[in-house]
């Protein structure tokens, strides 16, 4: 067993952890240790944008979790890939850069979290990004570590899809991260020069050479060390060998919506009865740890196409096209390999509230069935229809006291009937878009066909063909002490404990209207300022 000591120990080298560790290490007089359970992020499957398509089927660089059986899915288990690699899920996601809606953050503040309104967090969004799409504006930033761009080689399908949305009354909106979110536009992605630009490249790589930053890969955190109620370090394993690292100032847990509550509970912080049942000594009772789990639920509308040069798929010519694309990417960093698949984004409302959309439409330029784990011959395109603000709340609990056992993940999809009703209406809207004249030149047969006019048939379809959009949040909820389900306060300090913060997507009181990677990085940027005081 080895021992070492730093000012700060950050657990989890994901989107938040990389930002926290990198920013703290900017002060040469501050020593930082970052622990990440996965390996380095230098694989071509990470650097080449389309490489993430192998993640789901191969469980590459991923924890590859499943949920417990979901009643809302007729007993089917859901899939929950989470990044197990430097950069975390920013190394395996679809690179979509979406901030959410201003009302999301105003709602956080209204729940008793001062400093988290949209006007409070906007400077951190701007600070974090280097926006190649629009440059510096009232809403967008330049000069930050996280590069945001348009795709270098988008499919012609994108403009046809935007036209189809326009035909259904959904306007074009040049920047859904700007003054207004409602509308449809080409997607903004975390890429630079035709490569994935994950949190590790953005925040860690510029500081790797510094002696005050120590990054340890393949380090599986097993327990937070306490002296009384004060966090003093982390126990972890590398290749089965036990180690300890101590923190002079603070321990920062950035394990994500699954990893953070898991580590807290393994350390005796959480619901008393649950820990007692597993034989884990209770250090501090916090009933909200692992509760309040929320996730965006999505369904897929998939169409075949004969236009094989415009959509990815499996055919002789498609294989030849992909081989040529690999060569093109190696020499020019352009072509299909720069695709994030989810190429166009739209935000709409089934309630007529265009100021606060409740649905995201994302056009994918390939067949995406069961997280691309179900393969189909031929070519096609897919519309993801995603519910932005589900009312259902689930939980993350421990399967045992063993830190290597996967946690029990229960998003409770469709637990609240309102979620089903809204997604039925959204699916009907999605079908109208996909059947619009603009797409007629490309549209073939629908895989898993469903009648847009039959609500009962759509409900049955959704129970068979819905799952996560990979955005779990809320399991270490931010809120005031009088909220018995809150885990951290507005400065991200764990209630009732000292020198311990949680900084990641788990602290979100509720989901944002869009993908969660950019908001997670914003949380980390703000968290660093809170640490510095």
Strand partners, 488: 478, 494
Cα dist from 389 to 18, 93, 418, 489, 512, whole Å: 28, 20, 11, 23, 7
How does pLDDT run across 244-271, given as a tens digit for each residue?
A: 999 999 999 999 999 999 999 999 999 9
Are 113 and 509 contacting, i.e. CB atoms less than 8 angstroms apart? yes
Instruction: Measure the CA dihedral 45/48/50/54, to 10°.
Output: 0
pLDDT tier for residue 54 given thresholds of 50, 70 and 90:
confident
Question: What per-residue confidence (pLDDT) applies to 60?
Answer: 87
Question: What per-residue confidence (pLDDT) applies to 2?
Answer: 66
Question: What per-residue confidence (pLDDT) applies to 351?
Answer: 96
Which parts of 136-252 fold into alpha helices (H)?
A: 157-167, 199
How does pLDDT run across 170-196, given as a tens digit for each residue?
A: 999 999 999 999 999 999 999 999 999
Are 255 and 476 contacting, i.e. CB atoms less than 8 angstroms apart? no
How does pLDDT run across 191-216, given as a tens digit for each residue?
A: 999 999 999 999 999 999 999 999 99
**What global pTM score does this model have?**
0.98
Task: Provide the percentage of residues in the chain whose pLDDT is more than 90.
Answer: 98
pLDDT tier for residue 59 given thresholds of 50, 70 and 90:
confident
pLDDT at residue 3 tops 90:
no
Are 7 and 248 contacting, i.e. CB atoms less than 8 angstroms apart? yes
How does pLDDT run across 355-373, given as a tens digit for each residue?
A: 999 999 999 999 999 999 9
Cα dist from 440 to 26, 342, 378, whole Å: 54, 20, 18
Question: Which CATH number, 3.90.1150.10, 3.40.228.10, 3.40.50.920, 3.50.50.60, labels domain 2-43+199-294+473-532?
Answer: 3.50.50.60
Q: Which residue has the higher pLDDT, 57 or 466?
A: 466
- In this prediction, residues 461-475 reach a mean pLDDT of 99
How does pLDDT run across 113-154, given as a tens digit for each residue?
A: 999 999 999 999 999 999 999 999 999 999 999 999 999 999
- Arithmetic mean of pLDDT over the chain: 98
- In this prediction, residues 309-325 reach a mean pLDDT of 93
Q: Which residues of 519-528 are buried (b: 16+ CB within 10 A; e: fewer)?
A: bbbbbbbbbb
> Which CATH class for the 152-186+297-387+412-471 domain?
alpha beta
Task: Name every residue whose Cβ is closer than 8 Å to that of residue 454 and which is 6 or more positions away in sequence.
Answer: none
Burial status of residue 72 (CB atoms within 10 A of its CB: 0-12, 13-18, 19 or more): buried
Q: Where are the domains of the chain?
A: 2-43+199-294+473-532, 152-186+297-387+412-471
Residue keyed to tokens 């504006």: 137
- In this prediction, residues 496-509 reach a mean pLDDT of 99
How far is C-alpha 414 from the chain's CA centre?
A: 20
How does pLDDT run across 421-459, given as a tens digit for each residue?
A: 999 999 999 999 999 999 999 999 999 999 999 999 999
Task: Name every residue whose Cβ is closer than 8 Å to that of residue 453 and which is 6 or more positions away in sequence.
Answer: none
Signed CA dihedral, 424, 425, 426, 427: sign only: positive
Catalytic residues: 471
pLDDT at residue 160 tops 80:
yes
Q: Give the whole-angstrom CA distance, residue 494 versus residue 487.
A: 6
The DSSP string of 506-526 is GG-SS--SS-SHHHHHHHHHH
pLDDT at residue 1 tops 70:
no
How does pLDDT run across 14-23, given as a tens digit for each residue?
A: 999 999 999 9
pLDDT tier for residue 65 given thresholds of 50, 70 and 90:
very high
């Amino acid at each position: 067993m080895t021992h070492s000591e730093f000012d700060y120990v950050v657990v989890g080298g994901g989107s938040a952890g990389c930002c926290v560790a990198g920013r703290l290490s900017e002060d040469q007089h501050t020593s930082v240790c970052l622990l990440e359970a996965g390996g380095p992020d230098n694989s071509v499957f990470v650097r080449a944008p389309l490489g993430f398509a192998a993640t789901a089927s191969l469980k590459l660089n991923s924890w590859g979790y499943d949920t417990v059986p979901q009643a809302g899915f007729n007993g089917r288990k859901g899939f929950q890939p989470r990044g197990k690699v430097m950069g975390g899920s920013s190394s395996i996601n679809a690179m979509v850069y979406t901030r959410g809606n201003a009302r999301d953050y105003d709602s956080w503040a209204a729940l008793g979290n001062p400093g988290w309104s949209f006007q409070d967090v906007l400077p951190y969004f701007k600070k974090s990004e280097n926006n190649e799409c629009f440059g510096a504006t009232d809403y967008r930033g330049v000069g930050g570590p996280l590069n945001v761009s348009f795709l270098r080689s988008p499919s012609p399908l994108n403009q046809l899809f935007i036209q189809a949305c326009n035909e259904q009354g959904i306007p074009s909106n040049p920047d859904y991260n700007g003054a207004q979110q409602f509308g449809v536009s080409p997607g903004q992605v975390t890429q630079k020069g035709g490569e994935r630009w994950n949190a590790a490249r953005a925040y860690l790589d510029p500081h790797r050479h510094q002696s005050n930053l120590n990054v340890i890969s393949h380090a599986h955190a097993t327990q937070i060390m306490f002296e009384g109620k004060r966090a003093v370090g982390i126990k972890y394993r590398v290749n089965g060998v036990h180690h300890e690292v101590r923190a002079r100032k603070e321990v920062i847990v950035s394990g994500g919506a699954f990893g953070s509550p898991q580590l807290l509970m393994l350390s005796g912080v959480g619901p008393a009865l649950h820990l007692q049942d597993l034989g884990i000594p209770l250090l501090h009772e916090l009933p909200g740890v692992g509760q309040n789990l929320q996730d965006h639920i999505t369904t897929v509308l998939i169409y075949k196409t004969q236009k094989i040069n415009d959509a990815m798929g499996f055919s002789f010519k498609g294989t030849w096209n992909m081989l040529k694309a690999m060569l093109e990417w190696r020499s020019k960093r352009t072509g299909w390999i720069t695709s994030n698949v989810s190429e166009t984004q739209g935000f709409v409302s089934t309630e007529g509230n265009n100021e606060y959309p409740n649905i995201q439409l994302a056009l994918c330029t390939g067949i995406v069935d069961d997280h691309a784990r179900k393969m189909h011959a031929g070519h096609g395109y897919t519309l993801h229809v995603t519910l932005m603000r589900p009312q259902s709340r689930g939980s993350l609990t421990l399967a045992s006291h063993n830190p290597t056992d996967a946690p029990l993940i229960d998003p409770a999809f469709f637990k609240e009937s309102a979620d089903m009703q809204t997604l039925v209406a959204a699916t009907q809207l999605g079908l109208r878009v996909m059947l619009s004249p603009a797409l007629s030149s490309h549209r073939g047969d629908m895989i898993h066909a469903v009648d847009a006019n039959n609500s009962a048939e759509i409900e049955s379809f959704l129970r068979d063909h819905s799952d996560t959009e990979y955005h779990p949040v809320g399991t270490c909820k931010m809120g005031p002490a009088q909220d018995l389900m809150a885990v951290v306060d507005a400065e991200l300090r764990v209630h009732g404990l000292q020198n311990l913060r949680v900084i990641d997507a788990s602290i979100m009181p509720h989901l944002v209207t869009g993908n969660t990677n950019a908001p997670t990085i914003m949380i980390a940027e703000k968290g660093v300022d809170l640490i510095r005081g």
